[in-house]
Amino acid sequence: MADTAVSTNVSSTASLRDGPRGPKPRRTFSRRNILLYGTLFVIAVYYAIPLYVMIVTSLKGMPEVRMGNIFSPPLEITFAPWVKAWSQACTGLTCKGLSIGFWNSVRITVPSVIISTIIASVNGYALANWRFKGANVFFTILIFGSFIPYQVLLYPVVILLREIGLYGKLAGLVIVHTIFGMPILTLLFRNYFSSLPEELFKAARVDGAGFWGIFLRVMLPMSIPIFAVAIILQVTGIWNDFLFGVVYTGPESYPMTVALNNIVNSTQGVVEYNVNMAATIITGLVPLTIYFVSGKLFVRGIAAGAVKG
Amino acid sequence: MNYAVEIKDLDLYFGNVKVLQQLNLDIYKGEFLVLLGSSGCGKSTLLNCIAGLLEVTDGQIFIGGNNVTWAQPSERGIGMVFQSYALYPQMTVEGNLSFGLRNARMPRDEISKRVSRAAGILQIEPLLKRKPAALSGGQRQRVAIGRALVRDVDVFLFDEPLSNLDAKLRADLRVEIKKLHEQLDNTMIYVTHDQIEAMTLADRIAIMKEGKIMQLASPNEIYNRPRNLYVADFIGSPSMNFLHGEIKDGNFLLDGITIPLKGYEFAADSSQGGKAILGLRPEHILTGDNLASATVRTTVTVELVEPMGSDTLIYSTLAGTFIHVRMDGQARVSPGDKVEIGFQPERASLFDPETEDRL
């Protein structure tokens, strides 16, 4: 009896009854959505207002700034503060604006990022795949290194750079950035290479590829995303660095962050808020651009950087 | 020198964990050897040692008569196929097949000759320009086999190559691997935890447990004459029924039933008698029309029935022990029925409960 009932049901179309059918409808203005989007909106406004004030102020002339209406849009839009910030503002003794600092920062960031990423990727690959003798000890020391506060090492590094004759030079700062980026980047690459299937590495060994063959021809083509994350992490980190920049370089080779500080914190004459705002935005433009271009990868970089604290 | 692979006194420790201990294994040229065992028994570790992907703690490995204990994986004359296929994702199928040959700096026309030969054997010519991501699981595993094939080696190593495939594809590829072995006639060492794969493919099976080989014999021998309790329990699905009793004067006494052991070939001297375990495979317990050939008969009550189409499994109790019986698929039985069962003692296995060895 039961058998026949089952077999007929398969072929005939079942008749629907009253009640819920298909996906459950969702209301746009549910209490949950109002709470969620309301909170997000308030937080967004909270963080966007300072940016708005900066942009608006940077487009005003000094007389308008003195009126003190910081939230009002500019009556007369002027780009003069931007031009001044870039090429005329005084950073200490010279008055050539941020442009010099900008190019210094480029000259510091580009080689630091390239060198540190290349070395760290090889480190990470060796640690993940070639379990050489003492690999764990080496890795522990490296991780320990990432927890040492930079301030502790400032002076010893000054002496070190002086001894090798690179103190106050761009090359010295590049070396410092490369070394200090090593723990976090190596960790990043090691974890990524560890997550790749181990059998792939074994297969490449059976196929006769060596240390560099496996790295360059098997691992590297698979690790574009992690390289992007590492580069984002390093570019934003090194570009935003102030401490090492001010300690290890001289007035001619100050990076942009130091130049910005010198403009904003100068104690002589009138405080030109509009120029300060423009200079700050220009300095922040590089990390900001990277953020908008790289999107999701940037978030991964931040998450990875969170370990650094 | 008839051996393709010889393993002598092999030890492998991970720290204090002894994964392989004093392992000896000789594999004939052209043999299909299956390493079978549950996970963690050291079978994959042994394969990795043969491949040279793990450094051995002690002992020697010979491949084709050469001592390769210190040799690199690529110098050992082996090809390997992995469970996860391990294809290079950014290379085409052709690139995957030729990667090893390019590393060996082989002339270009020789490479293309070998790639097209391997592609022909495995019927993957239309796929040569594709990336692994655009292939199905079965096609990927075929490419992985092809990668071992182009190397033109004497020894093939398979590390659970079919475990990631669905049941139907697994059965198809199993047949293909068997055909390939007949066609190429080279030595194959195959690791699996699937006893069907082991039984169907192997010339000889090595059943491993805790880094030791429990029995090394043909599938037939392992199935019919398991050397110890572990092997008897491991091979066969559902597994062998074990009945505890006593041997006395050439009879096995089981809770009031006397079973004459006249046809049974003893592996060890058991004239003094004593406690013993009788092992009976569910398919060797006879019912219905087959009862005529049974020399020992009794009646049991059916407790549970599992119809499987080709045959029907019944669960029952005999002499206080839970037993499985395999019946004909057309048998109509239901729980509570009384069923007459019987068996031939010469097809059973006897084990010593102390040493767990075959009697």
Shortest Cα distance from B86 to chain A (angstroms)?
5
Interface test with A, best of B45, B99, B106 (most A CBs within 10 A): B99
Which whole number is the average pLDDT over A144-168?
A: 87
B100 touches chain A (CB under 8 A): yes
Interface test with A, best of B47, B97, B103, B115 (most A CBs within 10 A): B103
Contact A238, A177 (CB under 8 A): yes
pLDDT at position A150 is: 83
Chain B positions touching A209 (Cβ under 8 A) are 74, 99, 103
Helices A135-145, A170-195: crossing angle, 10 deg rounding: 130
CA gap B159, A199 in Å, rounded? 10
- Hey, what amino acid is at B60? Q
Interface test with B, best of A132, A199, A206 (most B CBs within 10 A): A206
Domain boundary among B183, B210, B228: B228
Shortest Cα distance from A209 to chain B (angstroms)?
6
Which residue in chain A has the smallest CA separation from B105?
A: A208
Which whole number is the average pLDDT over B222-238?
A: 91
Shortest Cα distance from A227 to chain B (angstroms)?
16
Examine the domain organization and report whether B129 and B264 are in the same domain.
no
Shortest Cα distance from A2 to chain B (angstroms)?
18
Chain A positions touching B147 (Cβ under 8 A) are 203, 207
CA distances from B77 to A163, B80, B141, B150, B318 (A): 54, 10, 21, 12, 54
A218 touches chain B (CB under 8 A): yes
Examine the domain organization and report whether B112 and B40 are in the same domain.
yes
In a domain, B359, yes or no: no
B48 touches chain A (CB under 8 A): yes
In a domain, B279, yes or no: yes
Interface test with B, best of A129, A133, A199, A207 (most B CBs within 10 A): A207
Query: Above 60 in pLDDT, residue A2?
Result: no
A197 touches chain B (CB under 8 A): yes
Closest CB to A221 among B79, B80, B90: B90
Chain B positions touching A200 (Cβ under 8 A) are 86, 88
B79 touches chain A (CB under 8 A): yes
- Longest Cα–Cα distance of chain A, Å, equals 101
What are the beta bridge partners of residue B246? B253, B275
Examine the domain organization and report whether B213 and B325 are in the same domain.
no
Examine the domain organization and report whether B132 and B10 are in the same domain.
yes
Closest CB to A206 among B80, B83, B89: B80
Examine the domain organization and report whether B198 and B345 are in the same domain.
no
Residue A1: band (very low, low, confident or very high) from pLDDT cuts 50, 70, 90: very low
CA gap A183, A187 in Å, rounded? 6
Query: Above 90 in pLDDT, residue A136?
Result: no
Tens digits of residue pLDDT in A223-264: 888 898 898 889 989 999 999 988 888 888 889 999 888 888
pLDDT at position B59 is: 92
pTM summary value: 0.81
Examine the domain organization and report whether B127 and B22 are in the same domain.
yes
- What phi, psi does B172 have (nearest 5°)? -65, -50
- What phi, psi does A208 have (nearest 5°)? 85, 15
Examine the domain organization and report whether B242 and B199 are in the same domain.
no
Give the CA radius of gyration of chain A: 28
Which whole number is the average pLDDT over A255-280?
A: 85
| Cβ–Cβ gap B147/A207 under 8 Å | yes
Residue A50: band (very low, low, confident or very high) from pLDDT cuts 50, 70, 90: very high
Residue B261: band (very low, low, confident or very high) from pLDDT cuts 50, 70, 90: confident
Query: Above 60 in pLDDT, residue A9?
Result: no
pLDDT at position A309 is: 38
Neighbour count for residue A287 (Cβ, 10 Å): 16
| Cβ–Cβ gap B90/A203 under 8 Å | no
In a domain, B79, yes or no: yes
Which residue in chain B has the smallest CA separation from A221?
A: B90
Q: Exposed, middle or buried, A301 (CB in 10 Å: 0-12/13-18/19+)?
A: buried
Name the residue with tokens 């006397």. B258
pLDDT mean across residues, chain B: 89
Examine the domain organization and report whether B182 and B101 are in the same domain.
yes
Residue A6: band (very low, low, confident or very high) from pLDDT cuts 50, 70, 90: very low
CA distances from B35 to A10, B28, B55, B65 (A): 46, 14, 20, 21
Examine the domain organization and report whether B161 and B252 are in the same domain.
no
Among A186-200, B36-50, B173-187, B270-284, where is mean pLDDT lowest?
B270-284
In a domain, B171, yes or no: yes
B90 touches chain A (CB under 8 A): yes
In a domain, B175, yes or no: yes
What DSSP element (H or E) covers B80?
strand B78-81
More confident residue, A195 or A297: A195
Examine the domain organization and report whether B182 and B52 are in the same domain.
yes
What are the beta bridge partners of residue B159? B191
Across A225-263, b (16+ Cβ under 10 Å) vs e yields ebbbbbbbbbbbbbbbbeebbebbbeeebbbbbbbbbbb
CA gap A230, A301 in Å, rounded? 7
Residue A11: band (very low, low, confident or very high) from pLDDT cuts 50, 70, 90: low
Tens digits of residue pLDDT in A192-209: 898 888 999 999 999 999
CATH of the domain at B298: 2.40.50.140
Closest CB to A206 among B51, B83, B88: B51
| Cβ–Cβ gap B82/A202 under 8 Å | yes
pLDDT at position B138 is: 87
What are the beta bridge partners of residue B83? none
pLDDT at position B248 is: 83
Chain B positions touching A221 (Cβ under 8 A) are 90
Q: Percent of chain B at pLDDT above 90?
A: 48
Residue B106: band (very low, low, confident or very high) from pLDDT cuts 50, 70, 90: very high
pLDDT at position A122 is: 95
- Best-predicted range by mean pLDDT (A68-72, B115-119, B246-250): B115-119
Domain count, chain B: 2
Task: Give the sign of the dihedral formed by CA A70, CA A72, CA A75, CA A77.
Answer: positive
Tokens of B177: 């691997």
Chains A and B form CB pairs within 8 A to the count of 58
Chain A positions touching B83 (Cβ under 8 A) are 199
How remote is the C-alpha of B303 from its chain's centroid?
A: 32
CA distances from A276 to A12, A97, A182, A286 (A): 77, 11, 34, 17
CA gap B156, B27 in Å, rounded? 12
B71 touches chain A (CB under 8 A): no
Which whole number is the average pLDDT over B301-327?
A: 89
Contact A233, A301 (CB under 8 A): yes
Shortest Cα distance from A219 to chain B (angstroms)?
9
In a domain, B56, yes or no: yes
Chain B positions touching A222 (Cβ under 8 A) are 89-90
Give the start-to-end residue ranges of the domains of chain A. 36-78, 100-255+291-305
pLDDT at position A3 is: 46
Of A239, A242, A232, the C-alpha closest to A282 is A239
CA gap B153, A117 in Å, rounded? 39
Examine the domain organization and report whether B135 and B157 are in the same domain.
yes
Residue B355: band (very low, low, confident or very high) from pLDDT cuts 50, 70, 90: confident
What are the beta bridge partners of residue B277? B244, B351
In a domain, B132, yes or no: yes
- Domain encompassing residue B323: 234-351
A214 touches chain B (CB under 8 A): no
- The CATH number corresponding to A100-255+291-305 among 3.40.50.720, 3.40.50.1580, 1.10.3720.10, 3.30.565.10 equals 1.10.3720.10
CA gap B183, A264 in Å, rounded? 81
Closest CB to B99 among A199, A207, A222: A207
Examine the domain organization and report whether B166 and B253 are in the same domain.
no
Helices A224-240, A273-294: crossing angle, 10 deg rounding: 170
Residue B100: band (very low, low, confident or very high) from pLDDT cuts 50, 70, 90: very high
Tens digits of residue pLDDT in B23-64: 999 999 999 999 999 888 889 999 999 999 998 999 999 998
| Cβ–Cβ gap A207/B72 under 8 Å | no
pLDDT at position A301 is: 66
Domain boundary among B228, B254, B269: B228
B95 touches chain A (CB under 8 A): no
pLDDT at position A13 is: 64
Pairing, β B78-81 against β B155-159: parallel
With vertex at residue A207, the alpha carbon angle to CA A203 and CA A211, rounded to the nearest 5 degrees, is: 85
Closest CB to A203 among B52, B86, B104: B86
A224 touches chain B (CB under 8 A): no
In a domain, B242, yes or no: yes
Among A93-97, B135-139, B169-173, where is mean pLDDT lowest?
A93-97
pLDDT at position A303 is: 67
Shortest Cα distance from A303 to chain B (angstroms)?
27
Query: Above 50 in pLDDT, residue A113?
Result: yes
CA gap B57, A133 in Å, rounded? 15
- Hey, what amino acid is at B161? P
Residue B275 DSSP SS3: strand
Chain A positions touching B159 (Cβ under 8 A) are 199
Query: Above 90 in pLDDT, residue A25?
Result: no
CA gap B257, B298 in Å, rounded? 9
| Cβ–Cβ gap A202/B104 under 8 Å | no
Shortest Cα distance from A195 to chain B (angstroms)?
14
